Amino acid sequence: MLLLGIDLGTSSIKVSVIDAQTNRRIVSTQYPDSEAAIISEQQGWAEQDPNLWWEYTKLAIKKLNSTGLYNPKHITAIGIAYQMHGLVIVDRDQHPLRNAIIWCDSRAVALGDQAISDLSSTGFLASHLNSPGNFTASKLAWVKHNEPELYARIHKFMLPGDYLSMCLTGEINSNISSISEGILWDFKNNRISETLLDYYGIDQGLVPDILPVFSNYGLIKPEVADELNLSRDAFVSYKAGDQPNNALSLNVFDPGEVAATAGTSGVIYAVTDQLVYDQESRVNTFAHVNHNSSQTSLGVLLCINGTGIQNSWMKKITALGNDYVQINQLASNIAIGSDGITVLPFGNGAERMLKNRMVHAHIENIDFVRHDEAHLWRAAQEGIAFSFRYGLDILRQNGIEPKVIRAGHANLFLSPVFQQSFAGVTQVEVELYDNDGSVGAALGAGIGAEIFASRKEAFAGLEKHAIIEPSHITLYDELYEKWKDSLNRKLLN
SS3 sequence of 188-224: CCCEECHHHHHHHCCCHHHCCEEECCEEEEEECCHHH
If one counts every other C-beta atom within 10 angstroms of the C-beta of residue 363, the result is: 15
Q: How many Å apart are CA 484 and CA 493, to the nearest integer?
A: 15
Residues of the chain with CATH 3.30.420.40: 2-249, 251-492
Report whether 446 contacts 458 (CB < 8 A).
Answer: yes
Report whether 358 contacts 44 (CB < 8 A).
Answer: yes
Per residue of the chain (493 residues), what is the pLDDT tens digit?
Answer: 999 999 999 989 999 999 999 989 999 999 998 889 999 999 989 999 999 999 999 999 999 999 999 999 999 999 999 999 999 999 999 999 999 999 989 999 999 999 999 999 999 999 999 999 899 999 999 999 999 999 999 999 999 999 999 999 999 999 999 999 999 999 999 999 999 999 999 999 999 999 999 999 999 999 999 999 999 999 999 999 999 999 999 999 999 999 999 988 899 999 999 888 888 889 999 999 999 988 999 999 999 999 999 999 999 999 989 999 999 999 999 999 999 999 999 999 889 899 888 899 999 999 999 999 999 999 999 999 999 999 999 999 988 999 999 999 989 999 999 999 999 999 999 999 988 899 999 999 999 999 998 888 999 888 899 999 999 999 999 999 999 999 999 999 8
Closest CA to 388 of 274, 474, 484: 484
Report whether 58 contacts 164 (CB < 8 A).
Answer: no
CATH topology of domain 251-492: Nucleotidyltransferase; domain 5 (3.30.420)
Measure Cα distances from 106 to 196, 348, 487 in Å.
19, 9, 20
Angle between helices 50-65 and 160-169 (to 10 degrees): 60
Q: How many Å apart are CA 172 and CA 149, to the nearest integer?
A: 22
Question: Does domain 2-249 bear CATH number 3.40.50.2300?
Answer: no
**Cα angle 173-177-179, degrees, rounded to a multiple of 5:** 55
CB burial of residue 101 (10 Å; 0-12, 13-18, 19+): buried
H or E segment and range at residue 112: helix 109-119
Q: Running DSSP on this structure, what letter comes out for residue 37?
A: P
H or E segment and range at residue 363: strand 360-364
Report whether 431 contacts 407 (CB < 8 A).
Answer: yes
